[in-house]
Amino acid sequence: MPGMFSELAKLDNWSQWSIAPMAIVFAGAVATTLIAGFVKDSTRRSFIGQISIFCLAIAAAVNYVQWTGGWQDPGRLVWAGSMTLDYLTMLMNFVFIGCAILAILISLNTISELGIEYGEFYPLILFATGGMMCMVQATDLLMIFIGLEVMSIPLYIMCGMRRSQDRSAESSLKYFILGALAAGFLLYGVALTYGATGVTSLHGIQRWTMENGGLAANPLLTAGLALILAGFAFKIALAPFHMWTPDVYEGAPTFVTAFMSAAVKAAGFVTLFRILVTGFFQNGYTASLVGWGEIIAILAVLTMTIGNFSALVTKNVKRMLAWSSVAHAGYAAVGLAAAPAAGADGVGGVLFYVIGYALTSFVSFGVVAAFEKQNGGLSQVEDYRGLGYSQPFYAFAMTVAMFALAGIPPTVGFLGKWYVFKAAVEANITWLAVIGVLNSLVSVYYYLRVVVAMYLESPEEQAEQEPIKSSALWLAVLISTVLTIGVGLFPKKPLGAVEKSVSPMFVKK
């Protein structure tokens, strides 16, 4: 049939290729699945890991070409309006690829100690990464939902990868049940939104809302937004939907925990603010909206407080970090609560915060993974006594992570908190910033307890401590530590990228 190929030629206007980084990651995932199936020899496992890193590197390179504007001008809608290629997408692609590479690096040295004797971890992490990229790039609730599920389903399995261990299996079951519940809420919210507006694209919802007198005029749309919020609150662990977090984070293999607390949280926050800002918000139009800002402010207060006070009484380091991850979702939500009034500053604060937190959580969980590898079941704060002298490198990295999590300069954690709280003050919700600062002060206690244990207390018995030998793990911790301090010291370029990513969302059209 003549002319049939002319449709393929339509792909020549490069905009359709904007999904290339995501497609490369998915292609890598399928390829590594086949390799994992056909290569029986379990010693080839690290080979699959190296292929995965290679795929991610190619995707990052393509993404870099797009970032520099090599292919087309960004910001347009592509694929029938269901995807976009803006700087936010590209920045997050870098973040997700980076997170996946760091998680794979940590896994390379620790995966066999955990009894995971198969290579399926690598395709799964690639699928999850591709799902995140899809979710952030999508501007249609359908694509967002598919991205969310492609991200979540591999994570359910990854949590349970230590098949013979009770904790891992249970963690995976809990995450699955609550994740499925969250997906149900999210979907019902999308269905109600579709019922109210007749569309599922974010821009369509925005147009409908503007033409029909805002959210408050339509209870159906308000209920839809509430359910969507609840669904995402589950994913990013905002109280009161956070109950699964400590159990799942503790039971999952540590490199999976690191990946979840870094990348999944970032993906959830970015998608949430894309939905809220693009779909349910317009400049100069906020007064008549049912304020989702206020709802998120309340969730933020709850999340920060519950997370911090629970971390305060937790002795197990991994569980303490899980609670701290809940608290950090609360701090990031402060910026989101400020977004209706502070605009790009609020959302930019969230973006900078989640990226900074992603770096920091790779340092902290990387060190936890290293100490676990060395001592098997090393987990309580008391077990960290004296490690400052026997493991100077990892102890230093842990100190940096604890300072960053507590928000002490010159780390990225301080800057993140600074921007988020500044946005809250700009948005005239100073009380929220004050609660945030008070919470940070509380958190200093339990973060510094780890540092004090490492440097100032000595262990009961002087066991022979050999230096931890694991090059990939060392590299991952080194990279994330350097970035945690580096971005804190020289924030100009990262802030520029964040600014470039979020400001187009607030341009009046």
| Least distance (Å) between residue 129 CB and another protein | 17
Distances (CA, A) of 266 to 10, 149, 351, 357: 34, 16, 8, 9
Q: What's the one-letter identity of residue 305?
A: T
From the CB of 506, what's the least distance to another protein, in Å? 25
Q: How far is the CB of 50 from another protein (least distance, A)?
A: 20
The DSSP annotation for 302-352 comes to HHHHHHHHHHHT--BHHHHHHHHHHHHHHHHHHHHHHHHHHTHHHHHHHHH
Say whether 201 sits in a helix, a strand or coil: strand
Token pair of 27, please?
């292609």
φ/ψ of residue 327, rounded to 5: -60, -40
Residue closer to another protein, measured from CB, 187 or 485: 187
Q: Report the alpha-carbon distance of residue 294 to residue 223 in Å, rounded.
A: 16
Residue 168 or 390 having the CB closest to another protein: 168
**Minimum distance from residue 457 beta carbon to another protein (Å):** 26
CB of 134 to another protein, least distance (A): 13
Least distance (Å) between residue 12 CB and another protein = 12
| Half-sphere exposure of residue 24: CA atoms within 13 angstroms, side-chain side | 19
In this complex, which beta carbon is closest to another protein, that of residue 190 or of residue 301?
A: 190
Q: How far is CA 189 from the centre of its chain?
A: 22
Q: Which is nearer to another protein, 77 or 479 (CB)?
A: 77
- CB of 191 or CB of 302, closer to another protein: 191
User: Considering beta carbons, is residue 187 or 312 the nearer one to another protein?
Assistant: 187
What minimum distance in Å lies between the beta carbon of 26 and another protein?
8
The Cα 173–Cα 159 span in angstroms is: 9
Distance of alpha carbon 217 from alpha carbon 209, whole angstroms:
9
CA distance 256 to 128: 11
Nearest-approach distance from CB 80 to another protein, in angstroms: 11
Tell the burial category of 50 from Cβ atoms under 10 Å away from its Cβ (0-12, 13-18, 19+): middle
Torsion over CA: 326, 328, 333, 336 (sign)? negative
Closer residue to another protein in complex, CB, 211/461: 211
Closer residue to another protein in complex, CB, 192/397: 192
Question: Footprint of another protein on this chain (CB under 8 A)?
Answer: 4-5, 7-8, 10-11, 30, 33-34, 36-38, 142, 145-146, 149, 153, 156-157, 160, 163-167, 169-174, 176-177, 180-181, 183-185, 187-188, 190-192, 194-200, 204, 208, 217-220, 246-247, 250-251
Give the 3-state secondary structure percentages of the chain, helix then strand then coil, rounded to 5: 80, 0, 20
Where do we find the tokens 């470039």? 500
User: From CA 83, how far away is CA 220, in angstroms rounded?
Assistant: 26
Q: Report the residue number, 2 or 284, with the smaller CB distance to another protein.
A: 2
Q: How far is the CB of 284 from another protein (least distance, A)?
A: 23
SS in 3 state form for 383-412? Answer: HHCCHHHHCHHHHHHHHHHHHHHHCCCCCH
Q: If you search the block for the tokens 């937790």, which residue do you land on? A: 314
Residue that is written with structure tokens 């292929």 in the block: 51
Name the minimum Å distance from CB 42 to another protein.
Answer: 14
* Distance of alpha carbon 447 from alpha carbon 292, whole angstroms: 32
